[in-house]
Structure 1
Amino acid sequence: MNTRGAAGPPMSLEGIDHALRRRTEERDRVGGDLLDLDAHATHRLLTGMTPEGETGRRWDAARGATVTLWWLFDAYRRVLDQAAELRAAGRPDLEALTALLTGPSVELKPGDVPVEKRSLLRAAGEWVTLDAALARMDHAYREIAATVAAIDDAWSALLPTLDEADAARRAALDLAGGLGAPDPELDRLGDTLDRLRAAVTADPLGSAGRRDEIASVAGAVTARRAALERAAGIRDDYETRAGRLGERIDEVAEAESAARRARDVVLVKIADPALPALPDQAGALRDRLAALATVRGRWLELAGRMADLERAVEDSLSRATAIGESIAGLIGRRDELRGRLTAYQAKAARLGRAEDLALAALYGKARDLLWTAPCDLRGATVAVAEYQRAINRIGAAG
């Protein structure tokens, strides 16, 4: 059964030439797009592999669409070649040319259709117009391009992180080799990276949910490389680093001694002071420094222990310094109150109240508290405040 239909009224020769030029340009453009699609890097990679999972399903459909696209293009091109031959004849057949350019002239033979696209109901073949053939090509092209773009986007989102992690792993392996000891943790991370890369390569679309896992493993590899770099640095500079630690521990000891001296002074000069517990870490820190020598040669372990000790030393120094300053601040608070009391006595004199008995009594109470050892700092603070408020009231009253 022939399903080919009839074309409309014959076109003019000028109309035929115009349509033929347009269709030829269209054919060249479509052909160029098909070649560009074939040359696309991701398309070439997919053509040479067998994707799995979701990617495999999408790519199987895209490959079927690719076959459909090319046999549609071949059928489309054959019609244009036939039309060009007719137009080149001495007396072109306008009716035949019109039928080719506007009618259902593209034959889709059952034998040309991919197996997965065939139907028993279409066994007799099908005739479509050039426009219909172009629309089907566009649909197939968009399906293929969308699949290739989705896979390319998935690879672009995941592979760079894996590449960076692999580079970090190679650097870490070199460092571990230089330290002369295997690194089981690095080996474990490497196995995980290989597993993730295989999964992403075979099924990028199905691996979208692995982004956080990939980032976590990549971060762990980078951290391991940094730890090995620190270990290599300790190996090359152990004596210098240990010497600096010893010097900082001496500073801790001096800061703790200063805090004790400040406490002794405060206990004599301030009554019932609220003192913090005195720091006493210098001895323990020196023991830890000495213990580092026992793991010398196990550089990764030594690097971790030295880093912990360095942090402990800095924390101890900061704490001892802060406690010493806090204790010494009690003497500073007494001296600040003495200075304030003297300043307000001068202000009373400027106000003409130097002989005021009430003010003199307030002043005497505050002075006795501040110049008596040990000083009742809380009582002195209240007394100075009372004296200050009394003078301010006099100043406000004019």
Structure 2
Amino acid sequence: MNESGAGAVAPMSREGIDHALGHLRDEKERISSALLDLEGHDGTRLLKGARLAGETWRRWEDARTGIALVWRLYDAYQRVLAEASELRERHGRPSPAVLLELTGLLTGESVEVPGGEIPLERRTLLGAASERITLDEAVERMSAGYATAAEVIAAADTAWTALLVPLEDVEESWRETALLAQDLDGARHPELDRLGRELSAVGHVARTDPLSLVRDDKVDTARLDRLREAMAALRASLDEAVRLRDGHAERLAEVAASIGEVEEAERQAREARTTATIKIAAVRVPEPPSLGGGLRHRLADLDALREAGRWAELAARLAELDRAAAAALERARDNLGLSTGLLDRRGELRGRLEAYRAKAARLGFAEDEGLTELYARARELLWSAPCDLRGSTAAVARYQDAIKNCESQDQSRTESGR
């Protein structure tokens, strides 16, 4: 008879025993299935096969120890259940003593905890030397150990899923880019080397300690994302270098044409400023800078790179020159707009003055002496060189206001006559 510590516990009925055994057998199968699924999980296989470090190593060591304990506790649980099942099968009509023993096995502290030796200071003279728990308590402990291990395994699997495929994509991109750089000019590429070192460091962390990259249940892929963007930018620059190598004459001609546009815009800006200075009083348009000549010298300096076949460097320098030319062109056009804007303003005022004169004639005020004087003053200002834009603007406004006043007075007289 198993001395399981049933003591004075009332024995269960035969029906109760059979019901409990059926439930426990079903529970045992579910536990076994869950533990086997945990062992066969992709995350478990990855953790077992990887060379782990840091937080992931620490958590997996704890989880692995917990899993081993769960299996050992499961074996002890299973032995008690097997003992109870065998005892029940031997006694078709169990006696009260057998029912009491079965009750002790199923509800008493019948499971010896593996490695559960009670410390000497906690033992009693007649007490057990090792810890014993009930089947239900064994299930609770197995469930807790399973949950802890499953959490670590799922977290590692999620982290690796988020990291490994993108990492391999970036690594493949780096290898392809390295081959392209080697084929392009055979020289070492500092940026490619730097990205390679950074990628190696990120890859080591991703493969050995993925859990260190989990923040608030989310995988931090920021470093990997930055590497992907940097690799894409570098690949684009090297692709441009290949296109330059295969069609450098056309590319150089394009940049030269852009510089030509800058020079032409700067010439127009200087001419427009000269004209504005002559025709508009108190002009404060700054002297346009001459950037086109410097850009053309920079373009000529690139011949040495082309002759040396340093296509990657040439492509980068040409891209810089292209951007500088675009900025210089925008600046030249802004300067041109400053000068032409003054002349356009004068032309606008002239058009408005003549439109107001036509309106005055249409209203019958063509012979009005006051309006004639105001018109003459505004016209004199607008057609003088240099033109006082501020004074002209005020004169045109006075002429417009005077026409409105005449129109208002005329309407008042008409209404009074009625």
Q: TM-score range by the shorter chain?
A: 0.7 to 0.9
Taking structure 2 as the reference length, the TM-score comes to: 0.84
Displacement after TM superposition at 1:362 (Å): 0.9
Q: Percent identity?
A: 46
1:348 aligned partner, one-letter code: A
The yes-or-no answer on 1:138 pairing with 2:115 is no
Equivalent residues of 2:6, 2:104 under 8 A apart? no
Equivalent residues of 2:4, 2:110 under 8 A apart? no
2:315 aligned partner, one-letter code: A
Taking structure 1 as the reference length, the TM-score comes to: 0.88
The yes-or-no answer on 1:362 pairing with 2:374 is yes
1:365 aligned partner, one-letter code: R
How many aligned positions are there? 391
Q: Name the SS for the 2:112 alignment partner.
A: strand
Equivalent residues of 1:165, 1:222 under 8 A apart? no
Equivalent residues of 2:5, 2:104 under 8 A apart? no
- My pick for the range that moved more, 178-187 or 331-340, is 178-187
Deviations 1:223-262 (A, max 9, x none): 3333322222222221111111222222222222322332
Aligned to 1:126: 131
Displacement after TM superposition at 1:30 (Å): 0.9
Equivalent residues of 2:4, 2:104 under 8 A apart? no
Displacement after TM superposition at 1:131 (Å): 0.5
Equivalent residues of 1:4, 1:104 under 8 A apart? yes
Equivalent residues of 2:117, 2:130 under 8 A apart? no
1:342 aligned partner, one-letter code: E
Aligned to 1:327: 339
Task: Indicate the RMSD between aligned Cα atoms, in angstroms.
Answer: 2.7
Aligned to 1:25: 26
Equivalent residues of 2:266, 2:288 under 8 A apart? yes
Displacement after TM superposition at 1:278 (Å): 2.2
Aligned to 2:269: 259
User: Structure 2: how far apart are the matches of 1:152 and 1:118?
Assistant: 35
User: Structure 2: how far apart are the matches of 1:15 and 1:190?
Assistant: 69
User: Structure 2: how far apart are the matches of 1:283 and 1:237?
Assistant: 25
Q: Name the SS for the 1:107 alignment partner.
A: strand
List runs of 5+ in structure 1 lacking aligned partners.
none
Equivalent residues of 2:60, 2:152 under 8 A apart? yes
Deviations 1:322-363 (A, max 9, x none): 322331222221111111111111222333322221221111
Displacement after TM superposition at 1:161 (Å): 5.0
The yes-or-no answer on 1:385 pairing with 2:384 is no
| Match among 190, 193, 201 for residue 196 of structure 2 | 190
Aligned to 1:234: 244
List runs of 5+ in structure 2 lacking aligned partners.
412-418
1:192 aligned partner, one-letter code: E
Q: Name the SS for the 2:132 alignment partner.
A: strand
Deviations 1:284-323 (A, max 9, x none): 2222222222101111211111001111111222222232
Equivalent residues of 1:7, 1:99 under 8 A apart? no
Displacement after TM superposition at 1:6 (Å): 3.2
User: Structure 2: how far apart are the matches of 1:22 and 1:7?
Assistant: 24
- My pick for the range that moved more, 201-210 or 295-304, is 201-210
Aligned to 1:373: 385
- My pick for the range that moved more, 207-216 or 289-298, is 207-216
The yes-or-no answer on 1:162 pairing with 2:170 is no
Deviations 1:258-281 (A, max 9, x none): 223323433443334222322422
2:351 aligned partner, one-letter code: G
Change (3 A) 1:217 1:119: farther
The yes-or-no answer on 1:340 pairing with 2:341 is no
2:294 aligned partner, one-letter code: A
Change (3 A) 1:318 1:384: same
- My pick for the range that moved more, 299-308 or 276-285, is 276-285
Displacement after TM superposition at 1:148 (Å): 2.3
Aligned to 2:180: 175
